[in-house]
Amino acid sequence: MRATVIHGPHDIRIEEVPDAAIRRPTDAVVRVLNACICGSDLWAYRGVAARTAGQRIGHEFLGVVEETGAEVRGVRAGDLVVAPFVWSDGTCEYCVQGLQTSCPHGGFWGEAGSDGGQGEAVRVPFADGTLVKLPKEAASDEKLLPGLLALSDVMSTGHHAAVGAGVRPGATVAVVGDGAVGLCGVLAARRLGARRIIALGRHAARTDIARGFGATDVVAERGEAAVEAVRELTGGQGAHCVLEAVGTEESMRTAISITRDGGAVGYVGVPHGGSAGVDIGQMFGRNVSLNGGVAPARAYIPQLLPDVLSGAIDPAPVFDRTVDLDGVPQGYRAMHDRSALKVRIAL
């Protein structure tokens, strides 16, 4: 079969690789219908996150179950399924609790020895614990597929930020970051009943999506000027709930600074560099909380799925380009140079 392989910084190739195959009785093989490229894949692409030459890549996909191991009960050949960005056994204490990202038997698609999502097929460990079934008819619904695909990571991650920030009906929310996760955070905040949603971002194409997702205000400034602008919009107090969807020192500092006393930052931006802007001295006197981390998408997909199917939320607009498998290297380039927000791969 063919799959995306990373050989080094800026060196993404489509290559012939061994066919995905059942290795353990709890495995399934999924034929990929749709995958996508994540902002976090760019850290590997840019050489910031280390990868071994020849490693697979991609952690977001949906597709059709092709084959299942002898012990798999929850899915069968022919089922349409979506995978969260980590696999998990579904039975350990953490999985039962809904924190599947801490499953001791879990792993991340594309890690050494595993298949990546950006390929024709994927061997899925712990299929029962990992995969979530979708209605079969969605497989041919081009309007619905992108939204379902977003559940694998960005929509679930945006939701995790909103949950971490404590978004509730009537809350004033600010979202730091206008990437796909930040935009999904806007959508998640609206879904949870936020009254006012301030999106921080400088790219009109992206903040237009934010407005479509429910943002009531847009702040184009950065750093101190952004803090000023949000304070001005909130009577000097800041936002009850702030979603941090970037992960840099500056974005975290901004997020904490624009949080109202007693409020919370929901952090989901993969942190880059030490304490990444967390100044506990700044948080202490104002009782600012910090909740979040890597999103347990597996717990959220069943919660969000009905709303995607009903059309109550549609994260599809975060995909602004579609390529086939051969177009993946070009897709990375487009996201790297910011000419694309998020690239969908239709196989």
| Site of interaction with its own copies (CB under 8 A) | 94, 97, 99, 101-102, 164, 252, 261-262, 264, 267, 270-271, 274-281, 283-294, 296
CA distance 298 to 94: 12
CA distance 314 to 162: 16
**Which residue number, 2 or 286, has a Cβ lying nearer to its own copies?**
286
**Which residue number, 34 or 88, has a Cβ lying nearer to its own copies?**
88
**Which residue number, 45 or 267, has a Cβ lying nearer to its own copies?**
267
CA distance 333 to 42: 9
**Which residue number, 91 or 275, has a Cβ lying nearer to its own copies?**
275
**Which residue number, 98 or 306, has a Cβ lying nearer to its own copies?**
98
Helix (H, G, I), strand (E, B) or coil at 87: strand
Least separation in angstroms between CB 279 and its own copies: 6
**Which residue number, 146 or 247, has a Cβ lying nearer to its own copies?**
247
Q: Could you tell me the CA-to-CA distances from 12 to 7, 55, 236, 286 in Å, in that order? A: 6, 10, 47, 46
Contact present, 249 and 273 (Cβ < 8 Å): yes
Least separation in angstroms between CB 104 and its own copies: 9
List the beta bridge partners of residue 271.
none
Q: Which of 296, 295, 253, 294 is nearest to 273 (CA)?
A: 253
**Which residue number, 80 or 276, has a Cβ lying nearer to its own copies?**
276
Least separation in angstroms between CB 101 and its own copies: 7
CA distance 120 to 134: 19
The single-letter code of the amino acid at 120 is E
- Answer positive or negative: Cα dihedral of 204, 208, 211, 216: positive
The single-letter code of the amino acid at 147 is G
Contact present, 148 and 301 (Cβ < 8 Å): no
**Which residue number, 62 or 173, has a Cβ lying nearer to its own copies?**
173
Least separation in angstroms between CB 277 and its own copies: 8
Least separation in angstroms between CB 11 and its own copies: 26
Least separation in angstroms between CB 230 and its own copies: 17
Least separation in angstroms between CB 268 and its own copies: 9
CA distance 50 to 156: 25
Least separation in angstroms between CB 98 and its own copies: 9
Q: Could you tell me the CA-to-CA distances from 21 to 1, 30, 43, 112, 138 in Å, in that order? A: 11, 9, 29, 16, 25
